[in-house]
Homo-oligomer: A and B are copies of this chain.
């Protein structure tokens, strides 16, 4: 056996849904030449990451081994696969390969961050391959909820690996290439060492439905609507956007795209030739002059995002358009877990306007872009890999997918972010564990998830914040009284006096009786002042706030 090895190291997306980033390496131990597959983001939430703009995988390991990195390959254009490319490219400095539609989006991401768009290289689909060190990588078309999704055929001296990317087995996908089982069988015919495979829908027990099944239902709905129709879906689901637009067109409606992403995606589809036909769209200015019963708006914001077109329409006007009683709003989408509150909020705002809301609760107006359990089984049968490594999923998805694979007689293992696997032998082995985590984009700064910044924010949000100021003279004697500011705390508590007065009085009383040893020692003084402020609050209002102490010494 050679001393070279084939390694796989997920840095994001394994043990979570979002921010995909997978490293492959081949070569002598610790000298493997590397490629990175996908470089995505995940979205923050108020509960765990308030104020954070975006969440990236922690790629320190890759930065430390940058000299070994050959290239980045992006499977498709979803944010959780391509979203960090502009933010991270400078740290990696290698070419980024993608198919035309994905490359189009990636170039915008580069430009947004002032990075060179020319580093995004457009490559054609399989059988075209790109050499990257010991690897040869081909983009094998597969259906998903965005055009030109691809699995990667990753060849190295250790054998062929197929990295599925996000996929479904759709033979009638409306836009883009159908899943082609014969092509896949052909790629796999000489043996596949490992299938690294999307796990998100492993708990969905029925075979996935084709994108083409939603069209007739949408068409019926739109045809029967008496007033304006507004529909939302993921803008990147160009096939769905097209289906919606065509349903509008057939019902004699003018189509208007609202929201930056909606226009961007259709534009990218046309520019790259993915969208060969699309109904004529009218500008928002023109739309304002069209009778509502002849109009259909396609808007961003299927997840209830506050700044998207849907949420703005729900709050009132957006670009001069306003919904009215009798209008129809269609969610041609599913709500991602965690986004329910935002979606429900806009549903109720529309309801208050008298707008009729239709969503996918009856399973008519949306289909998933991911392979369900029977589809995963079918793909395994076609590819017949020696081992299956589940990726893109929470722990429960990876575990179930590994279990499923083992039941079908294949080698499998759960490898979460940071778990480096050695795939060289007949079965996957854990090679080592690499420290990983999450990196937050906060304003314009990247911070570590565990830096304490977000922890402090959460504490202030849960507990409120008391700021205590004390001034001491040259002899460590208090100059005047203690002075407080309260933020995020009730004005009064148990004693019915202002909380501020009660806390200041207790602190001032303490200062009056504190001995020189305490007054002369910043740490001791701060500890005591903090303790008193917290205890007084506990007595008065039943909670212990965060406390910041500012001791100024005149000298």
A60 at the interface (CB under 8 A from B): no
Contact status B465-A460, CB under 8 Å: yes
Q: Say yes or no: A50-B462 contact (C-beta < 8 A), given A337-B341, A546-B487.
A: yes
Q: Say yes or no: A341-B550 contact (C-beta < 8 A), given A396-B357, A541-B445.
A: no
Most buried by B among A203, A395, A445, A447: A445
Contact status A351-B445, CB under 8 Å: no
- Taking CB atoms and an 8 Å cut-off, the chain A residues in 524-555 that contact chain B are 541-543, 546, 548, 550, 552, 554
State the Cβ distance, A555 to closest chain B Cβ, in Å: 9
A224 at the interface (CB under 8 A from B): no
Q: Say yes or no: A351-B395 contact (C-beta < 8 A), given A445-B541, A494-B444.
A: yes
Q: Say yes or no: A469-B552 contact (C-beta < 8 A), given A442-B541, A443-B542, A461-B51.
A: yes
A485 at the interface (CB under 8 A from B): yes
Contact status A485-B550, CB under 8 Å: yes
Note all chain B residues with C-beta closer than 8 A to A460.
457, 460-461, 465, 487-488
A88 at the interface (CB under 8 A from B): no
Pick from B46, B394, B395: contact of A46, CB under 8 Å: B46
State the Cβ distance, A543 to closest chain B Cβ, in Å: 3
Contact status A457-B554, CB under 8 Å: no
State the Cβ distance, A306 to closest chain B Cβ, in Å: 11
Q: Say yes or no: A467-B548 contact (C-beta < 8 A), given A460-B457, A488-B457.
A: yes
Note all chain B residues with C-beta closer than 8 A to A458.
46, 50, 461
A479 at the interface (CB under 8 A from B): yes
Pick from B47, B337, B490, B550: contact of A447, CB under 8 Å: B490
Contact with B along A256-288 (1 / 0, CB 8 A): 000000000000000000000000000000000
Note all chain B residues with C-beta closer than 8 A to A361.
203
Q: Say yes or no: A461-B461 contact (C-beta < 8 A), given A51-B543, A542-B445.
A: yes
Pick from B338, B348, B541: contact of A395, CB under 8 Å: B348
Closest residue of chain B to A341, judged by CB? Answer: B338
Chain A: interface size category: 35 or more
Note all chain B residues with C-beta closer than 8 A to A550.
467, 469, 483, 485, 550
State the Cβ distance, A118 to closest chain B Cβ, in Å: 26
Note all chain B residues with C-beta closer than 8 A to A46.
46-47, 50, 458, 461
Contact status B344-A394, CB under 8 Å: yes
State the Cβ distance, A430 to closest chain B Cβ, in Å: 15
State the Cβ distance, A476 to closest chain B Cβ, in Å: 16
Contact status B399-A351, CB under 8 Å: yes
| Alpha-carbon gap, A542 to B53, bound state (A) | 11
Contact status B337-A541, CB under 8 Å: no
Contact status A205-B457, CB under 8 Å: no
Contact status B351-A493, CB under 8 Å: no
| Alpha-carbon gap, A550 to B552, bound state (A) | 12
Note all chain B residues with C-beta closer than 8 A to A490.
442-443, 445, 447, 451, 453
Contact with B along A429-463 (1 / 0, CB 8 A): 00000000000001111010001011011101111
Note all chain B residues with C-beta closer than 8 A to A471.
471, 552
State the Cβ distance, A373 to closest chain B Cβ, in Å: 12
Closest residue of chain B to A359, judged by CB? Answer: B203
A186 at the interface (CB under 8 A from B): no
Contact status A456-B351, CB under 8 Å: no
Closest residue of chain B to A489, judged by CB? Answer: B453
| Alpha-carbon gap, A407 to B461, bound state (A) | 47
A181 at the interface (CB under 8 A from B): no
Pick from B469, B479, B487, B488: contact of A554, CB under 8 Å: B479
A-B contact pairs, 26 of them (CB 8 A): A45-B47, A46-B46, A46-B47, A50-B462, A203-B361, A340-B340, A344-B394, A442-B490, A442-B543, A443-B490, A443-B541, A443-B542, A445-B490, A445-B493, A454-B488, A457-B462, A457-B488, A458-B461, A465-B487, A467-B467, A467-B548, A471-B471, A483-B550, A485-B548, A485-B550, A550-B550
Q: 4 tightest CB-CB pairs across the interface, nearest first?
A: A444-B542, A443-B542, A443-B543, A461-B461
Taking A352-B395, A487-B546 as known contacts, 9 extra A-B pairs with beta carbons closer than 8 A to each other, sorted by chain A number, are A46-B458, A48-B341, A445-B541, A453-B464, A456-B464, A456-B488, A460-B465, A467-B467, A471-B552
